Amino acid sequence: MNPKKSLHGKIALVTGASRGGGRGIALALGEAGATVYVTGRSTRSQSTRSDVPGTIDDTAEAVAKRGGIGIAVRCDHTAEEDVHALYQQIKQEQGQLDLVVNNAWGGYEDYDGVDFLAPFWEQPMTRWDNMFGAGLRAQMVSSRCAMSAFFLEQKHGLIINTGVFPDIGGDYPINVFYDTVKRASANMTRSMADNLKRSHLDVTAIALAPGWMRTESVYTHYGLTPYDPDFMKVEALHPTESVEYIGRAVVALASDPYVSQKSGQLLEVGALAEAYNFTDIDGRRMPPFRV
């Protein structure tokens, strides 16, 4: 698959795109020629993270360098008024929206000294609140706004909810909060697709599961400079993929005229790489994540 300019003229929104998977998705969409609205709370004038780099301004600039149009809009996706204002801005500026990637997430910040893999009775409830508020609830609020502002009138559109994962099995340590919200996102997406089908709308809802991504936080954890091409230290425990691998999966889905056949499904980036014949930025085709 050659993604170059396959999405020219398309308007996309990627939430939570300051860094991590959201940044990688926005870059891939830009490379495919799309106009990409990138949202988040971190701006060059005020970042929410002091430990890792990345702002929506940086991402929008990088999208433009890849050949697309990047538009940064500060948005707190836990605040409904912010989300409604965001969609109204897109409506006024573009008049259309083709793709929404709900990637905003909370729960990794402010660990408060509690290990992420501690048992549920030791986990702070603020972590639960952040995961559901800035994750699952944010996906629903954004999806509802996409429907009311664009997709009901257009009668077509694509919603992708990221960050979910299948039952990977094995002796994998479980954070009960994390496991619950991720599975809930997959279930929500399946039910959304059922609503859309029953309403005879040509709107597709998909849940998308990446593997172990080399995010800025992962690089920092291993003592590496983010985006350092020498990432083998990160792979000491398990093979990893770049944040642009999931971006190439999004481009493939958005370019597929038959993507509606996948509505409601939980799809894995590694499996889509095989199906759509794309690779990661280093030329490898990473399989779906397994322990």
Tokens at 289, concatenated: 């994540």
Tokens at 261, concatenated: 């056949």
The residue written with tokens 């230290």 in the block is: 233
Backbone dihedral region for residue 132 (phi beyond 0: left; psi -120 to 50: alpha; all else: beta) = alpha
Residue burial 247-286, b: 16+ Cβ < 10 Å; e: rest:
bbbbbbbbbbeeebebbbebbbbbebbeebebebbeeeeb
| 178 part of the active site | yes
Q: Which residue in 178, 219, 222, 245 is the catalytic one? A: 178
Based on DSSP, count helices (H) and strands (E) in the chain, helices before strands.
Answer: 10, 7
> Are 159 and 148 contacting, i.e. CB atoms less than 8 angstroms apart?
no
User: How many Cβ atoms from other residues are within 10 Å of residue 94's Cβ?
Assistant: 15
Which active-site residues does the annotation give? 178
